[in-house]
Amino acid sequence: MSSLKKLLEIASVAAQRFIAHDGWAIASHIALSILIALFPFLILLAALAGLFGTKSLADEAGVLIFDTWPREIAKPVVNEMHRVLTEQRGGVLTVGAVLALYFSSAGVESLRVGLNRAYGLREQRPWWLTRLESIAYVICGAFAMLAFALLVVLGPLIWRNILNVAPGLEPLSLTVAIGRIGITAILLVGVLTIAHKFVATGRRSLMAVIPGVAVTLVLWFLAGLGFGYYLDRFSNAYVSTYGSLATAMVALVFLYWLAAMFLFGGEINGTVIAARRVRLQARMREKQARAQRL
C-alpha cells in the first residue's frame, strides 16, 4: 500500500511539474515539429536506401514507423508515404535531401527543448552545435531504420528456407509474425532511451531514465487503443470539421497526445532524480552534523 501511495505521489508531483514547465504548449510544438519533419525524414530514407540499390527498403522502414499507430490514422498517412517514396529523385547529395536532413533535425530539437524543461536543465551549448548533434541523430536513426527494415524483409525469407529444410517447424510460424511487433517495440524502447539519456543536456544513467521510458510506453499503448476506438466511431466529426485536412489534423492531434505523454515520462524521471538529490543532500547534512558533534 505504501508503494502505491509513493507512486501516486510521484505521479502527482510530475503532473504539477508538467504544468509548471508549460508541458501542453511544448507538446504542441513537438507535435507540429514531428509532423513537419516526418516526410523529409522519409525522403532522406529513400535517398539513403537508393545508395544500396533498393527503394523498397525505405518503404518497409516507413511502414515500420507507422506499425504502432492506430490503423485509422496510419492508413491514409501510409498511402501518402508510398507516393512520396516511389517518386524518382536524384542522389542523396541533392539540395532536396540536404533540406530534408535539416528539417528532420527540427523534430529532434523540439524533443530537446521539452526534455530540458522536464529535467529542469538549461542548454549551455551554442545552437549550431546542438543542431549538428540533431542532424547526427537523424542520420544514425535513418540507418538504424533501414537496418531494422532489412531484418523485417529478410526474416520471412530466411524462415521459408528453414521450413524447406525442416518442415516440422511450421507450427512456430506465429513466432515469426510476432517478430515484427517485437522489432518495432525494440525500436521504440531504443529511441526513448537514447532521447532521455543523450538528447537532453547533461547525462543520466540507464536506471535513471527507465521509469519515464516505461511510463511513456504504457501511456502510448493506452493512447493507441483509446484513439483508435474513438476514431472508429467518431471519425466523421473530423471530416465534417476539417474537410480535406482531416487526415493531417487527426495525425497532429494524435502526435500532440503522444508528445504530452512523452514529456510526462520525462517529468517522472525529473521528479525521481530531484527526490534522490534531496535525500542525498539530507544525508550529507546529517553526516556533517554528526562530524561536528564528534
One DSSP character per residue, 230-249 reads HHHHHHHHHHHHHGGGHHHH
* Separation between Cα atoms, residue 16 and residue 155, nearest integer Å: 46
SS3 7: helix
pLDDT, tens digit, 9 for 90 and up, residues 260-273: 999 999 999 999 99
Which residues, 6 or more positions from 11, have their beta carbon under 8 angstroms from its beta carbon? Answer: 268
* Separation between Cα atoms, residue 201 and residue 125, nearest integer Å: 9
Give the type of residue at 117.
R
User: How far does Cα 109 stand from its chain's mean position?
Assistant: 13
| C-alpha closest to that of 40 among 150, 190, 183, 141 | 141
Residue 172 DSSP symbol: G
Domain extent at residue 262: 2-293
What pLDDT was estimated at residue 97? 65
User: How far does Cα 231 stand from its chain's mean position?
Assistant: 22
Q: pTM for this structure?
A: 0.82
Query: Which residue is listed with cell 529542469?
Result: 120
Q: Bigger pLDDT: 51 or 115?
A: 115
User: How far does Cα 56 stand from its chain's mean position?
Assistant: 23
Give the pLDDT band (50/70/90) at residue 193.
very high
Yes or no: say if 212 and 17 are a contact pair by the CB < 8 Å rule: no
* Separation between Cα atoms, residue 144 and residue 57, nearest integer Å: 12
The H or E element that residue 193 is part of is helix 173-194
- CA-only gyration radius of the chain, Å: 22
What pLDDT was estimated at residue 237? 65
Q: How many domains, the chain? A: 1
| Whether residue 244 has pLDDT greater than 70 | no
* Separation between Cα atoms, residue 81 and residue 58, nearest integer Å: 10
Q: Is 195 exposed, middle or buried (0-12, 13-18, 19+ CB in 10 A)?
A: buried
| Whether residue 162 has pLDDT greater than 60 | yes
User: What is the pLDDT averaged over residues 153-167?
Assistant: 65
Beta strand ranges found along the chain (DSSP E): none
* Separation between Cα atoms, residue 33 and residue 220, nearest integer Å: 19
- Measure Cα distances from 185 to 65, 188, 218 in Å: 11, 5, 12
pLDDT, tens digit, 9 for 90 and up, residues 97-124: 677 778 888 889 999 999 999 998 888 8
pLDDT, tens digit, 9 for 90 and up, residues 118-156: 998 888 889 889 999 998 898 888 777 777 676 666 666
What are the two backbone dihedrals, phi and then psi, of residue 210, each rounded to the nearest 5 degrees? Answer: -60, -45
* Separation between Cα atoms, residue 194 and residue 136, nearest integer Å: 13
* Separation between Cα atoms, residue 232 and residue 92, nearest integer Å: 39
pLDDT, tens digit, 9 for 90 and up, residues 12-26: 999 999 999 999 999
